Amino acid sequence: MSGGTFNQAIIIGNLGDAARVTRLERGDKQTVIANFSLATSERIRKGETEYEEVTTWHNCIAFGRLAEVVQQYTQKGDKLHVVGRIQKRKYVQDNVEKTSVEILVNELNLLGKAPGKSDAAAAAAAAASNSGFGDFESPDNPFHIGGSVPA
């Protein structure tokens, strides 16, 4: 912690749509960037017995291996746990200066598939849960990124 401050966001939400993935090349190096949105919801009391569901969208950006995991193993509706830091940036669009608040992801956990959907990641997660914790250090495990999926 620098100067008594701390910047960390922890979100558990549903993926709004497939991640938009960009690959940037600088010389012989390539950086993968995934932009995606997570929806969180809460119930707000509206009167004596009525409640309203309020959804908040969180813009997230993942880099490198985390971006590849988002691209390969997630789809709209999947439940994700994201840890990162909040960044506010300004940009110009159509000659108008705008501000964006984003979560720069440094940890990602796949918590569940969208209802009625399945893929290799869900199968691997089920196999791991059926046999204890599975071999998380195996390079064949799609969740193996070296620890708890840090950037």
Looking at residue 120, its pLDDT comes to 56
Q: What is the CA radius of gyration of the chain?
A: 18
With a pLDDT cut of 90, the percent of the chain lying above it is: 50
**Position 70 confidence tier, pLDDT thresholds 50, 70, 90:** very high
The architecture in CATH of the region 9-130 reads Beta Barrel (2.40)
Mean pLDDT (the chain) is 80
**Region 74-82: what's the mean pLDDT?**
92
90 in Cβ contact with 99 (< 8 Å): yes
This prediction has a pTM of 0.69
Domain ranges across the chain: 9-130
Of 47-56, 64-73, 74-83, 114-123, least confident by mean pLDDT is: 114-123
Q: List the Cα angle 93/94/95 in 5-degree steps.
A: 90
Looking at residue 78, its pLDDT comes to 92
61 in Cβ contact with 102 (< 8 Å): yes
DSSP state letter for 69: H
Question: Please, which residues bridge with residue 142 across strands?
Answer: none
